[in-house]
Structure 1
Amino acid sequence: MSSATIFLFLLTVVPLICTPGPDILYTASQGISKGKTAAMRAVAGVLLGYSAHAIPSAFGIATVVAASPFLFNALKWFGVAYLAYLAIQMLYSASQKKDGIVLSETDGVSLWKGFFTSFLNPKGLLMYMAILPQFISPEGNAAMQALVLSGIFVASCGVIYLGVALAASRAHGKNMSDTARRKLEAVAGVFLTGAAIKIATQEH
């Protein structure tokens, strides 16, 4: 695989990664509401979700799933339901008065929520099915090329999402007023609701 192909692939996927979606919004909301450690955990979870898509896509399974209306819709509505669940949790938290901010730094909840946020997002599956194959040469080992490109995509997500999450975590702190905390969580909940609606209404 040539360096020119890799460069063109990056030019194609980086703008897509930077586009606001459920993954980047979730990692940012974790940074705001729970701090740096939870944000990093959320990013790790999102990357694990995309990595779980990478292996089957390398062997053509992602194409089969995307070609099946039943399987695609099942994945789509699982994703919508999960995003709606996250949005409801965020909005409910925003509606509650609290004495302080609960960091929840000692558990792995953010990681697993991040995993399911990306794993159940059809956008990732469609990226592997529709975009990645355009950069694979039929003359080489297709599975190996797919794995390399998937690795580049996941690494790019890691750099961008981590930067966003750490920047968002600067807004977090024990001295943040409860009013500010509720406003930030309300905004995050609204964005997650919008992401769920967007996925629910997009056509196959």
Structure 2
Amino acid sequence: MSGTALATWTVVALLGVMTPGIDTKLVLRHTILGGGRSGLAVVGGIAAGCLVWAGASLAGLTALLAASTVAYDIVRIAGACYLVWLGLSAIWKTLPRNRTATGDRLDAVDVNGLTVRSGLRAGFFTNLLNPKVGVFYISLLPQFMPVGPAATAWGALLVAIHLAVSFVWYPALIAIAARVRGVLLRDRVRAGLERVTAVVLIGVGVRLATESR
């Protein structure tokens, strides 16, 4: 594989990670409402989900998604239901009877349950149940892999580059979000932000459930 191909893949990975999507929304939500550690946990979960898809791609399993409409739809509907569940849970936790005031602010971690564990879970399952991640790997990864016995090793290198880009971009985003977290955690601001992100999660889930391939 040439250096040009590696550079091209790096640019593709960078654009894919930097383009705002459900991963970015989850990282920002957990960072602002649960703290930097919760945001980083989401990044770890995202990486773990990507590793599963990447491993399946290298093994040829994600070709099933590209070939089978039924398999694709099963994963798509499961992912949509999970996103809607995340959104509805977030709205439920912002209801007055489910909020615990602490002075003029709210304890975001206790109220919203946005802990390290929940961050890992959200990042992992959101990616694992997103068939587009699988299609990304099955459609793009082979185009940058050489033919021959070294293909698997090069594929692993490409996956490592993709994950490395994620571990550079998302922590930078988390650092920026953490600087304004104090203002955004005020009672009314926090509740409004949580509801907005919840509506976005539900909207993405509904769109994922209703869109065609």
- Regarding TM over 0.5, the answer is yes
Matched residue, 1:10:
10
Q: Partners of 1:37 and 1:173 in 2: how far apart?
A: 15
Deviation at 1:107, TM superposition (A): 5.3
Q: Deviations over 1:58-117 (max 9, x none)?
A: 121111233121211111111101111111122223343430223258652221121111
Deviation at 1:153, TM superposition (A): 1.1
Deviation at 1:26, TM superposition (A): 0.6
Matched residue, 2:212:
203
Matched residue, 1:51:
51
Q: Partners of 1:58 and 1:198 in 2: how far apart?
A: 29
Decide whether the 8 Å contact of 1:136 with 1:142 is kept in 2.
Answer: yes
Q: Which amino acid aligns with 1:35?
A: G
Deviation at 1:25, TM superposition (A): 0.7
Matched residue, 1:102:
108
Say whether 1:41 aligns with 2:41.
yes
Decide whether the 8 Å contact of 1:93 with 1:182 is kept in 2.
Answer: no
Say whether 1:73 aligns with 2:73.
yes
Q: Deviations over 1:147-171 (max 9, x none)?
A: 2111111221222222223322333
Q: Partners of 1:95 and 1:3 in 2: how far apart?
A: 54
Q: Which amino acid aligns with 2:90?
A: M
- The DSSP-based 3-state class of the residue aligned with 2:160 is helix
Say whether 1:166 aligns with 2:175.
yes
Pair 1:76–1:202, CA change in 2 (3 A): same
Counterpart selection for 1:187 from 189, 196, 211: 196
Counterpart selection for 2:136 from 122, 127, 131: 127
Q: Partners of 1:129 and 1:71 in 2: how far apart?
A: 14
Q: Which amino acid aligns with 1:197?
A: V
Deviation at 1:127, TM superposition (A): 0.8
Deviation at 1:196, TM superposition (A): 1.5
Unaligned runs of 5+ in 1: none
Say whether 1:117 aligns with 2:143.
no
Deviation at 1:35, TM superposition (A): 0.8
Matched residue, 2:64:
64
Q: Partners of 1:198 and 1:137 in 2: how far apart?
A: 36
Say whether 1:178 aligns with 2:187.
yes
Identity of counterpart residues, as a percentage?
Answer: 27
- The DSSP-based 3-state class of the residue aligned with 2:181 is coil
Moved more, 158-167 or 109-118: 158-167
- The DSSP-based 3-state class of the residue aligned with 1:73 is helix
Q: CA RMSD in A?
A: 2.1
Q: Partners of 2:210 and 2:172 in 1: how far apart?
A: 30
Moved more, 181-190 or 154-163: 154-163
- The DSSP-based 3-state class of the residue aligned with 1:137 is coil
Q: Partners of 1:5 and 1:175 in 2: how far apart?
A: 42
Q: Partners of 2:167 and 2:125 in 1: how far apart?
A: 16
Q: Which amino acid aligns with 2:151?
A: A
Deviation at 1:178, TM superposition (A): 0.6
